[in-house]
Amino acid sequence: MTRVLVDTIETQQDKLQFGDPIGCSYHWLEPDRIDAYGDSVRRLATKVELAVDAFDRTATLSEDVFAGEAADTLRARAGRRLEESTLVRDNLRGLGRAINAYADVMRRHREGLERLHAFATGSGLELQGNRIMPPVETIKDATQTELDAWETSWKAYRECFDLKIELRDIRRANTRELVRALAEFADVHPDKDRARLVAADANQVTFGELRREAAEEAMEAVEAGDRADAARRTVEILKRREQSALDSLERLALADRPHEEIAAQADRVGALHRELVDARTEARDLEVTADRELAEAHRAARDLDTAESGTPRADTDQVGLRPAPGTDLRDRLG
């Protein structure tokens, strides 16, 4: 968020000089909206925590459960993804906290402007709407009482002017702190990124959207992989149960047990076999889905890499130009 207020207002405040009307209205986003967006960023960090847990479980998978070259490759890859997702989670948490802190700053700024307005009103200064007007510059043929009142008005105006400058400078300093947080936690430089669009014909793709798409595809790939892993474990459990039931059936036959007992055990074996067949079918379907989601995640990652390297990329999902950036906080945060 490099610009929390419109340029014309900033320009006016830069040119504010002693003796000018002093504005005391709040022109910026409501602090509660800023706070809500900070909370949403922190909730996103909580969701990324799910990916961190999934990669951690995979990276620490015991060789007793999964061994071999493929297992080692999977654990190594999961370890790398664990580091990346942990960094994303921590950055989102830090950015969310920075936005929440900025909301508090803007809340205090609004309260300061309200105090400024109240002080000017209580001091008897002239107000036109939300602007504090300066007293007259000169006074002639005035009584001592009128001169004293005129001097008191100018002193009150001086206090209003100093308070306005103080409020402005504090807000700007904290805005710069938020910009630094954006650079530190999100590697976002709004002044530069605003001009960096990867365009192809009439379609445009912004870096923020590519990052979000890559994160969403990665999360879906992790979840699909978890479901496939769970299905494979179910198949292994059913295979062991079927083999145990077959062993029991063989022992009953060798022991020449009654026909009814052998038939009941055979029915159990048949039921387990049917369950195993269904589980294998489901596991194969989930593996196909997991492979497809992984391919989509790789595609999204390649698109982001391509965009960051400056290579044009067409976005076939979009059918026209994006609307001009609005004034929503999400847009200002890139």
Which domains are delineated in the chain?
Answer: 1-195 (1.20.1260), 196-334 (1.10.287)
**Higher-confidence position of 271 and 207:** 271
pLDDT reported for residue 113 = 92
The stretch 175-202 carries a mean pLDDT of 60
The predicted structure's pLDDT at residue 332: 37
205 has which bridge partners? 198
Taking the C-alpha atoms of residue 151 and residue 44, their distance in angstroms, rounded to an integer, is 56
With H, G, I as helix, E, B as strand and everything else as coil, classify residue 23: strand
Amino acid at position 37, single letter: Y
Please tell me whether residue 195 adopts helix, strand or coil conformation. coil
Query: Judging by beta carbons within 10 Å of its beta carbon (0-12, 13-18, 19+), is residue 324 exposed, middle or buried?
Result: exposed
pLDDT of residue 334: 36
Residue 87 binned pLDDT confidence (cut-offs 50, 70, 90): confident
